[in-house]
Amino acid sequence: MRTMTATLAALGLTTLLTGHSLAADAEQQWLEMIASGEAYSAETLLPLFKQLEPVDTDFMVGTWKGGRFDGGAEPDPINWYGKRFTSPSDVEPLLVTNADGEVVTYDRLGAAQMRQVVFDGKASAALIYDSQPIMDYFRKVNENVVIGLGDIKGKPTDFFFHLTRQ
């Protein structure tokens, strides 16, 4: 039985034995981590990120509210709200909340576009800044939540964030 269980797990077929999928487990784990508001290291998040399914650029169209996995320890100098994807060629990569509580575009880093980009063997939607050496890779938790991994040229690829569809 142990060999059969290991074989089914390797094939991603544990649903046959357990009645639930690994994808459902991963979704639940991500949602619990987001809800906790706690800090999580890149060493914890990267293996989980790699397990998530890719998304295409059409999936990302819309306005998304963001959050970080820093447990609130890092100051937020711009009062980050999230991101807006109007089309693959029209992205507002940073939305902020101004002093009046309105969501506005933070344009100091410029605009961006989306493309399908391969990261760790999976092609998925990525946000590419027009004038900055920054890319954000996205993976799907569920229909309304994605996890982003920020890649800033010359720095470690270790900035994780989450986006919830608005």
Rounded (10°) angle between helices 42-51 and 22-36: 140
Asked if pLDDT for residue 129 goes beyond 80, the answer is yes
Which domains can be identified in the chain, with CATH numbers? Answer: 2-38 (no CATH), 49-165 (2.40.128.580)
Largest CA distance in the chain: 62
Contact yes or no for 139/124 (Cβ under 8 A): yes
pTM of the model: 0.86
The predicted-structure confidence for 82-116, as pLDDT tens digits, reads as follows 999 999 999 999 999 999 999 999 999 999 999 99
Q: How far is CA 55 from CA 4, 31, 61, 132, 148, in A?
A: 32, 18, 11, 23, 11
Q: How far is CA 46 from CA 134, 137, 149, in A?
A: 18, 12, 9
70: closest CA among 49, 41, 104?
Answer: 41
